[in-house]
Amino acid sequence: MAAIHESGGKAVLQIEHGGRRVPFAVSEMSPITPYPRLIGGEMPREMSFEGIKSLQEDFVRASLKAKSSGFDAIEIYMCHGYLVHQLLSPLSNKRVDEYGGEVDGRAKSAIDTLRLVKEAVDRDFPVSCRISAEEKATGEIKSVLTG
């Protein structure tokens, strides 16, 4: 980190969770997803409501750790089939609770995560997010912004 700062650079940490993309061999847990279906690899388990809340807390802890480690900003990764993107996507999120359904429900976890992270790291610490505005998936292609 010192070398980056000494040369005038800024260090930004990208924080993500792979969700169903993370095999047991890597995490020693079965993969998780908002709604289980097999898309190659191992059959993931469905995230519980508590699991979504725990995921949000994990993003907060990781963000605070990044800040205390000297990073200048963070980016929450919400795209390319990773877990938060799986929650945003109408193709992978078939939940029927408050984290599913129309775009407002599917976006709830992402919005809540960003709010909680921003509250934890403070107003002046830069927090960004990266999302996929359009899915290039087999079958239906839909915008995660318009549903």
Tell me the C-alpha distance between 94 and 61, whole Å: 28
What number of CA atoms fall less than 13 Å from residue 92's CA on the CB side? 31
In a domain, 110, yes or no: yes
Give the pLDDT score at 147: 39
Residue 137 lies in a domain: no
Pick the more confident residue, 133 or 2. 2
CATH number of the structural domain spanning residue 54 = 3.20.20.70
CA nearest neighbour of 81 among 90, 89, 73: 89
Question: pLDDT digits over 61-71, tens only?
Answer: 999 999 999 99
Predicted confidence band of residue 93 (pLDDT cuts 50, 70, 90): confident
- What's the domain range around 72? 10-131
In a domain, 140, yes or no: no
Q: What is the mean pLDDT of residues 84-91?
A: 86
Q: Is 99 among the domain residues?
A: yes
Tens-digit pLDDT profile for residues 25-59: 665 566 666 655 555 566 677 888 998 998 999 99
Q: How many domains does the chain have?
A: 1
Q: Which amino acid is at 69?
A: S
- pLDDT score of 145 more than 50: no
The answer to whether position 1 is within a domain reads no
Residue 67 resides in a domain: yes
- Give the whole-angstrom CA distance, residue 81 versus residue 96: 20
Q: Enter the pTM of the model.
A: 0.81
Using DSSP, state whether 101 is helix, strand or coil.
coil
Check residue 25 and give its pLDDT. Answer: 63
Catalytic residues: 82
Is 108 a member of any domain?
Answer: yes
Q: pLDDT tens digits, residue range 101-136? A: 999 999 999 999 999 999 999 989 999 999 887 776
